[in-house]
Chain A
Amino acid sequence: MTEIDTFRQETREWLDANCPDSMRQPVSGFEDIYNGGRKPEIDIPEQPLWCERMAERGWTVPHWPKEYGGGGLSAEEVKVLKEEMARIGARRPLDSFGISMLGPALLKFGSEEQKREHLPPICRGEIRWCQGYSEPGAGSDLASLQTRADDQGDHYLINGQKVWTSYADKADWIFCLVRTDNSGSKHEGISFMLFDMDQPGVTVKPIRLISGSSPFCETFFDDARAEKRNLVGEAGQGWTIAKYLLTHEREMISGFGTSGGKSLGKTALETLGADAEGRLRNGILRQDIAQHQLDTLVFGATMERVGDEVKAGQGLGPASSIFKYYGTELNKRRNELNLAVGGEAALGWSGEQYHEGETVRSFLRSKGNSIEGGTSEVQLNIVAKRVLGLPDA
C-alpha cells in the first residue's frame, strides 16, 4: 500500500468511528452551518462535539500548518479527506469567516505572534469573526471608508460606523478596515485591525433581510479600543491586505455556483412529469435546466483547471473575479429554476408543509451573492481594466 492509500484507510476508519450520525445528513440551508464562537448557535446537539473531534486532528482546516492548529495535510491528502467525508455524507465540522477570509490573510501578512494568537482559536471554533469593511458611504467604492483609528501610543481609538456587517451580533472579534491617515490618496492611510467586539465602545443593530432572517448589522464604534499588537502589517498599508482577503472571500462565494446536490433535471422530471419519450414535459424549462447544468459542469471544470494551473505554478491570475461573477450568477439561476420547478408550493413562507419556506428563502438570499464581496458589475470592471487592460473613461 502506498502512503496515500494508508492515509485513506486510516481516515475512513477514523471518520466511521467518530462522525456522529446526525452529522451525516445534508445541511438544509445557509443557516444550518456551524460557525462556533463564544456563544455558538447550536441547531443539532452533536455539532460542537463533531467540531471538537475534527479540530483535535487539525481537520477543521486540514491544509493549514500544524503549528497554528491546522492539519498540515498535503493537497493530495486534503483531497482524500474530502472524498472520504463525502463518501459518508459527513458535514464540514466548521465554517467561518475566520477560516475562509481572515486566516489566509493572517497566514500571508500576520506576524508570528498574531498567527499564534489568532489562528488556533479559529481552527477550534472558539472565536467567531466578522468583517468590518462596508460603510454607508463606502460600498463598491470601498476605499472611501471614513471610520477613524487614532493612535494612542499602545492602542488605537476607533470611531465611526460600519454597515452590512454579517453576523456582527454573533461574532466575538472583528477584522476591520479603518483610516489611520487622511493626507494621501484614498487607498493610502487605510489600516487593517483586529479587535474584540465585546467591549463598551461597540454597538450592534441587526438589519432584517428580504429572506426574513437578520444576519447583517449596523455596527457603531464609539471610542472602541484596538491594541497596537493587533494592527496587521504596517499602519496605512492595509489596502493590500484588504484586497488579498477579498480574493478569498470571492472564492468562497463563487463556490456556491458548484454546490451540487440532486440533479435539478431529475427532480423536475419527478415533479412535473415526462413526455412520451421520457423527457421533461415542459421543453422550454428543460432547455433552461440543461443550460444551467451544462454551465455548472463547465464551471466546475474551470475551477479544477485553475486549481491544477496553480499547482503547476502558473498562477491564479484574474480567476477570482470571473469566478465570483460567474459562480454567483449560476447560483442565482439555480435558485430561479428551483422556484420554477417547485411551482406555487415553493412560494410558501411558513407552515409545516413548506419546511419553513426553505426554497424561497434560499432564492431570496441568493440575490445577495452578486452583491456581497463586490458586486457583479464591480467584478466586470476589474476584469475589463486589470485583465483586458481597457482604459478608464
Chain B
Amino acid sequence: MTLVLNEEQQMLKESAAGFLASKATVGHLRKLRDSGDELAFEPAVWKEMVDMGWAGIAIPEAYGGLGYGYTGLGVVLEQAGRHLSASPLEASVLVGATAINCLGTEEQKTHWLAAIAAGEKQVSLALQESGAFDPVGVTASATRDGDAFVISGEKRMVLDAVSADAFVLIARSGGVAGETRGLSAFLIPADAAGLSITPCDMVDSRQCGALSLNAVRVPADALMGSEGDAWPALERTLDIAAIGFSAQLLGLSLEAFERTMDYIRERKQFGQVIGSFQGLQHRAAHLFAELELARSIVLKALQAIDSDDQGLSRYASAAKAKLSEVARLASNEGVQMHGGVGMTDEYDIGLYLKRARVLEHLMGDYYYHLDRFARIGGY
C-alpha cells in the first residue's frame, strides 16, 4: 500500500468536504448548543449522511455496508473534524459498529451492522467507569443466572448515550480490575429494565451520557463472543477507535491552523500585518511541520487497520499520542495568535480548543498512549 489516497478515497474526501461545509458547520454546532438540544445533533442532517452511505463505509459488504474500509471512514472523520460537525458518526459508526464487528457473534453482526449502515439503529460503547481512560480497570459485574446474565455497575463517557438504541457494554465476569482476563461484552438494549441514562453535555457541546445498571437482566444471547475473553477483540476495537479520533483531530488541527493563518495575514498592529513578525512566523512554520507529520501517521495508521497489520497497536498509540499533542499545540496557538478575540465566545477558534480537548481524551489521551507506545517498544 502506498501512503496516498486512491481515487475513490479522494472523491469521498471531496464530497464529504462539500456536504459538511454546507450542512454541518461550526455555525450549526453553535446553534445546537444555544438551543440546548438534548441530542446535540440534527437528525435530518444525519439522515442525509446515512443516505450518502457514510454509516456503512467501514462495514463489510457482507453485513450491508459499503466495505470501503477505515481509510475511507477516516477521510470522512477528518472532514467532520474540520467543521466540528455534530452527528453520531463517531459514537455509532466509528465505535459502535466497530465494536460489533470485532466482538459480536455472526447473528449479532448480521442484525445490527445492517441496521447501523441503514441508519435505523445507533449503538454506542459503554466501557469507561472513571474520569480516566482505563479499559482494564472495569469493575461492572456480569453474573450468570440460569439462562441469563445479571449486570450491575456504572458507566461514564458514553457517546451520544441519549440517542443510542443499544450499548455494547463491557463488564467483568471474572478476574479483577487491572486484568485483561475475565472481561465480557454484552449487547444491551437502551430500554432494558434497570438501565438508566443520565445525559451530560461536554465542553465541546457534544453529549456523553452516564449509565447506571441496577441488576439488568439480559438473555444469554446478549453475550458477544465467549465469556471472559473479550479483551483481544476489545483491544482491536479501541485501537481502531483511537485511530478514527486521530483522523478527526487531524481535520480539527488543520482547520484551526488555516483559520489562524488567515487571521494573522489580515490583522494589523504596529502598522503591519502581524503575520510579518518573525516571532509568529517561526511558530507557524513549526506547527506546519508538525501538521505534515500528523498527516502521515494518521494515514499510516488507517492503512494499518485495512491491511491487518500486526503492528496495529503501535500505530494506534503513535497516532493518538501524536495527534493529541499536535491538536493541543494547534488549538493553543490558534487562541494565542488571535489575541483577545480568541478568548471571545463569538469567535470560532475557541470551539476548536474545546473540541480538541474532548477528542484528546476519548480512547486514551497523550500520556496514556505515549506510555503504551513505550511499553510496546519494550521499555
Contacts and interface: CB of A to CB of B under 8 A. Distances in A.
A319 to B, nearest CB: 8
Interface string B348-379: 00000000000000000000001101110111
Given A269-B378, A301-B297, A325 B289 contact: yes
B295 to A, nearest CB: 7
A302 B285 contact: no
B274 to A, nearest CB: 9
A304 interface: yes
Contacts of B277: 393
B226 interface: no
B2 interface: yes
A311 interface: yes
B377 A295 contact: no
Nearest to B370: A290
B379 A308 contact: no
Interface in A292-346: 293-295, 297-299, 301-302, 304-306, 308-309, 311-312, 314, 319, 322, 325-326
A28 B276 CA distance: 45
Contact of A381 (B280, B281, B299, B374): B281
B296 A265 contact: no
Interface stretch (A48-56, A79-87, A212-220, A279-287): A279-287
Interface string A114-127: 00000000000000
A314 B3 CA distance: 12
Contacts of B378: 263, 265-266, 269
B284 to A, nearest CB: 6
A391 interface: yes
Nearest to B322: A298
B288 interface: yes
A147 B370 CA distance: 51
A279 B4 contact: no
A21 B375 CA distance: 35
B379 A294 contact: no
B329 interface: no
A290 B264 CA distance: 34
A289 B379 contact: yes
Size bin of chain B's contact surface: 35 or more
B293 interface: yes
Q: Which of B265, B280, B378 has the most CB of A within 10 A?
A: B378
A388 B2 contact: no
Interface string B164-202: 000000000000000000000000000000000000000
Contacts of B292: 302, 319, 322
A392 B276 contact: yes
B288 A388 contact: yes
B337 to A, nearest CB: 11
A326 to B, nearest CB: 5
A304 B296 contact: yes
Interface string B45-59: 000000000000000
Nearest to B321: A294
Contacts of B343: none
A381 B288 CA distance: 12
B250 to A, nearest CB: 12
Contacts of A287: 370, 374
A377 interface: yes
A291 interface: yes
A269 B179 CA distance: 25
B119 interface: no
Contacts of A380: 281-282, 285-286
B281 A326 contact: no
A265 B377 contact: yes
A389 interface: yes
Nearest to B288: A383
Contacts of B293: 295, 298-299, 301-302, 326
A136 B281 CA distance: 27
Contacts of B322: 294-295, 298
B74 interface: no
Contact of A265 (B2, B3, B265, B374): B374
B222 interface: no
Contacts of A388: 261, 281, 284-285, 288
B3 A390 contact: no
A307 B275 CA distance: 31
A387 interface: yes
A268 interface: yes
What are the 10 closest A-B residue pairs judged by CB atoms, nearest first?
A: A265-B379, A384-B281, A383-B285, A305-B3, A290-B374, A302-B296, A380-B285, A308-B2, A301-B296, A322-B289
Interface of A: 263, 265-266, 268-269, 279-280, 286-287, 289-291, 293-295, 297-299, 301-302, 304-306, 308-309, 311-312, 314, 319, 322, 325-326, 377, 379-381, 383-385, 387-393
Given A305-B296, A384-B278, 8 more contacts: A269-B379, A286-B379, A295-B293, A301-B297, A322-B289, A380-B282, A381-B278, A390-B280
Interface of B: 2-4, 261, 264-265, 272-273, 275-278, 280-282, 284-286, 288-289, 292-297, 299-300, 318, 321-322, 370-371, 373-375, 377-379
